[in-house]
């Protein structure tokens, strides 16, 4: 039976693509971990989605995130070898949002998560994507990654999660959504 551990990280370091080892709390593995966490929450949301379009979109996003993690995991001199997220993927997210928003009602106020299980899961995913975006923004600012498409992709993805939350809530028949503003205010 194969071992599922190597003991290489017992000293608090982890490998990045390119052979270098860095401490696990270095900004690069922190960003990769945040993206991985976002991917896991997207998978949880996908498993709950009732609208087939939501699940289809989320599966493609999850695949894109694995590619994105490879680029973020790479040392600066190796990142170009793993580059796969570009204008096309950012535009694809924008196109998915447009398609969805053309068919749903968008509230004029903040909503409270939890109208449906899938909607709540998508809101959790949205917040974890935002955390990944913050970690990646730090890498980009410090010039540890140089592709502007990575922070753009994550920024659009968090918006897509919100739109998918609305789609799932409306697909389940929950209209109107629960608003953050108290009805008597």
- Domains in the chain: boundaries: 23-104+111-171
Q: How many CB atoms lie within 10 A of CB 125?
A: 29
State yes or no: pLDDT of 185 exceeds 60.
no
Exposure of 28 in the CB half-sphere (CA atoms within 13 A) = 22
Read off the pTM.
0.92
Q: Which stretches does DSSP call E strand in 6-162?
A: 13-15, 21-23
Confidence band for 160, pLDDT divided at 50, 70 and 90: very high
Contacts of 138 (CB under 8 A, 6+ apart): 27, 31
Assign 1 a pLDDT band (cuts: 50, 70, 90).
low
How far lies 123's CA from each of 24, 64, 143, in Å? 28, 19, 30
Q: What is the pLDDT of residues 4-31, one digit of tens each?
A: 888 888 888 888 777 788 868 889 999 9
Find out if CATH 1.20.1200.10 is the number for domain 23-104+111-171. yes
């Amino acid at each position: 039976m194969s071992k599922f551990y190597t003991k290489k990280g017992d000293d608090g370091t982890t490998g990045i693509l390119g052979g270098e080892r860095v401490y696990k709390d270095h900004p690069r593995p922190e960003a990769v971990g945040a993206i991985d966490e976002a991917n896991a929450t997207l998978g949880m949301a996908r498993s709950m989605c009732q609208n087939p379009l939501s699940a289809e979109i989320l599966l493609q996003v999850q695949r894109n995130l694995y590619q994105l993690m490879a680029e973020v995991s790479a040392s600066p001199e190796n990142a170009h070898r793993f580059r796969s997220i570009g204008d096309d993927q950012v535009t694809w997210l924008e196109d998915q949002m447009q398609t969805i928003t053309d068919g749903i009602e968008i509230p004029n106020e903040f909503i409270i998560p939890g109208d449906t299980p899938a909607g709540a899961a998508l809101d959790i995913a949205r917040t974890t994507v935002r955390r990944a975006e913050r970690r990646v923004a730090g890498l980009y600012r410090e010039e540890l990654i140089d592709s502007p498409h990575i922070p753009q992709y994550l920024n659009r993805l968090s918006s897509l999660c919100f739109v998918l939350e609305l789609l799932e809530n409306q697909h389940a028949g929950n209209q109107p959504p629960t608003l953050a503003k108290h009805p008597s205010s």
